[in-house]
Structure 1
Amino acid sequence: MPGLNFDNFMRNRYLSAKGFATPTATATGTTIVGCRFDGGVVIAADTRATAGDIVADKNCEKLHRISPNIWCAGAGTAADCEFVTQLISSTLELHALSTERKPRVVTCLTLLKQHLFKYQGHIGAYLIVAGVDPTGPRLFSIHAHGSTDVGYYLSLGSGSMAAMAVLETGWKETLTKDEAMALCGDAIEAGIWNDLGSGSNVDMCVMEVDKPAVLYRNVRTPNQREQKEQSYKFKRGTTAILKEDIKTLVKVVEFDEFEESLLKDADQMQVDA
């Protein structure tokens, strides 16, 4: 087996000397969490999608189905998370058909980490993969460079520090399903209230042994817009017109005149010929 290869380091240094700057990391905003309980696993995410300083979508879906018993939460670039999970979902389905067995969560983890490692972080997908298989409930996290973690509770995204504080405070080995859902909901809300890149609602997916996965869309809506105290629709004529000036920008030609001009042009062309 070959050892470490540093060809890319030499290439990057050569490109930097030629004026090609090394790409920097892109700041993204999301809070995603996962938590295991006795007999299953829960993942949750906020629903705010940002484009720089702009909220591009207030209710996007960050929980992705990979197989009937495996789901993942995605942070990072929305398109990268969407298409990477779709690619691995189809690959895992072919693998399951080939082996005639239900897919394992660790198989999904391996496919994802190998794919992301090939691109050295240029695919901006940070994922929490969770599911149940014949070995029981499993929970993993994958970073864009291909590194992975395993744990009983995990968080990723720009609001992960606030979420992890809640998870570390409230997690215990004897969590029930309802307690795990409440804990994940509280962790996501901590990210929503303490991170500008996270916001809107809370989505959740619960996977239990020998039961189908259940997606809870907008299970919490802490950012609902309140009713305005008064209407700001003004009646027509409220603002006075100080001056009115109408200018003709385009000459309107009737169809008969247009047809007549075409005939004249045709006759003139015949005369010239």
Structure 2
Amino acid sequence: MNHLPEAWGRPRNDVYGTYDASYLQSSMPNQHTQSPIVTGTSVVALKFNGGVVIAADNLASYGSLARFTNVERLKQVGTHTVVGAGGDISDMQYLHEKLLDSLIIKEEYQNDGHHLRASHIYRYLSKVLYQRRCKFDPLWNTLLVAGWDDGKPFLASADLLGTTFSAPALATGFGAHLAVPLLRRVCPDEAAVENITREQAVDTIEECMKVLFYRDARSLSKYSLAIITGKDVEGAAECEAKNQSWKFAEGIRGYGTQVV
């Protein structure tokens, strides 16, 4: 009996003839990078009068398995920029540790007092993503670049196809469907940014993270949050969604072993 996995489920050669495996032959190399395995979900960001708030949960999912619960998907780049990544974790690590770290080291090595601003880093990342897409070997990420640039808050998005755009309220992954409507209630357009305080922006982002924890099966209650202003970047890696217990389910008829 043939126990090799490639023979499982095939017709018997002695009954139906030799199996034709010619379709398996290819001159191209195997492309394992085209199937993301460990992935992260939403990144949420909002401008306010004086800076930008950005947050991402700390979960990296192996398919549908909540495998890694301490993966920070926000990275400070330079002095006034934070990059948040959703999508494939290995591609995110390549961007963060290989490209961005090398970029900052090369820039700071000159020691000329010049620092890369958020718009510089954003343009660099957008060109990298588009170049990889043109090679048909994309980096499976959607990036949000938040920072303080030229005296005002900066927020923009770039995805694996090289698509780029900017808005005062942005989210990736499932957050594009669930969080963006909540963000636009507070900030419908660029003109509304002047009326949003820091506390209001943080509260809105926290509300979005709580909604995503309830509704997105690939999210986690623990998340990282960063606040970028003209002075510096304030970060917190151990935030947790407020009022995220599931006790409300006890009051639902038919839940558990309760008697109706």
Q: Structure 1 length normalisation: TM-score?
A: 0.68
**Is the CA contact (8 Å cut-off) linking 1:50 and 1:56 kept in structure 2?**
yes
Partner secondary structure for residue 197 of structure 1: coil
Deviation at 1:134, TM superposition (A): 3.0
**2:54 is the alignment partner of 1:43:** yes
Deviation at 1:79, TM superposition (A): 1.8
Match for residue 78 of structure 2 among 67, 73, 78: 67
Partner secondary structure for residue 83 of structure 2: strand
**2:219 is the alignment partner of 1:198:** yes
**In 2, Cα distance between the equivalents of 1:124 and 1:204?**
23
Structure 2 equivalent of residue 182 of structure 1? 203
Report Cα offsets for 1:169-214 as digits up to 9, x if no partner.
Answer: 22243111111111111112222211111122132100111x1211
Structure 2 unmatched runs, 5+: 1-22, 248-260
Counterparts of residues 1-273 of structure 1 (less than 5 Å): 26=36, 28-86=39-97, 87-95=99-107, 97-98=109-110, 100-120=113-133, 122-171=138-187, 172-173=192-193, 174-209=195-230, 211-222=231-242
Structure 1 unmatched runs, 5+: 1-14, 227-273
Q: How many residue pairs are counted as aligned between the two chains?
A: 211
**Is the CA contact (8 Å cut-off) linking 2:57 and 2:222 kept in structure 1?**
yes
Structure 2 equivalent of residue 269 of structure 1? none
**Is the CA contact (8 Å cut-off) linking 2:40 and 2:88 kept in structure 1?**
no
Deviation at 1:158, TM superposition (A): 2.9
**Is the CA contact (8 Å cut-off) linking 1:29 and 1:158 kept in structure 2?**
no
Change in Cα spacing, 1:53 to 1:178, as seen in structure 2 (3 Å) is same
**In 2, Cα distance between the equivalents of 1:195 and 1:148?**
25
Which runs of structure 1 show a deviation greater than 4 angstroms over 4 or more consecutive aligned residues?
17-29, 96-99, 222-226
**In 2, Cα distance between the equivalents of 1:89 and 1:224?**
38
Deviation at 1:103, TM superposition (A): 1.2
Deviation at 1:37, TM superposition (A): 0.6
Of 34-43 and 158-167, more deviation after overlay is shown by 158-167
**Is the CA contact (8 Å cut-off) linking 1:67 and 1:93 kept in structure 2?**
no
The alignment yields a C-alpha RMSD, in angstroms, of 2.8
Deviation at 1:77, TM superposition (A): 0.8
Report Cα offsets for 1:240-270 as digits up to 9, x if no partner.
Answer: xxxxxxxxxxxxxxxxxxxxxxxxxxxxxxx
**Is the CA contact (8 Å cut-off) linking 1:31 and 1:192 kept in structure 2?**
no
Structure showing greater radius of gyration is 1
**In 2, Cα distance between the equivalents of 1:193 and 1:145?**
29
Partner secondary structure for residue 33 of structure 1: strand
Report Cα offsets for 1:216-260 as digits up to 9, x if no partner.
Answer: 22222455799xxxxxxxxxxxxxxxxxxxxxxxxxxxxxxxxxx
Deviation at 1:45, TM superposition (A): 0.9
Deviation at 1:22, TM superposition (A): 9.5
Deviation at 1:95, TM superposition (A): 3.1
Deviation at 1:19, TM superposition (A): 9.6
**In 1, Cα distance between the equivalents of 2:145 and 2:123?**
11
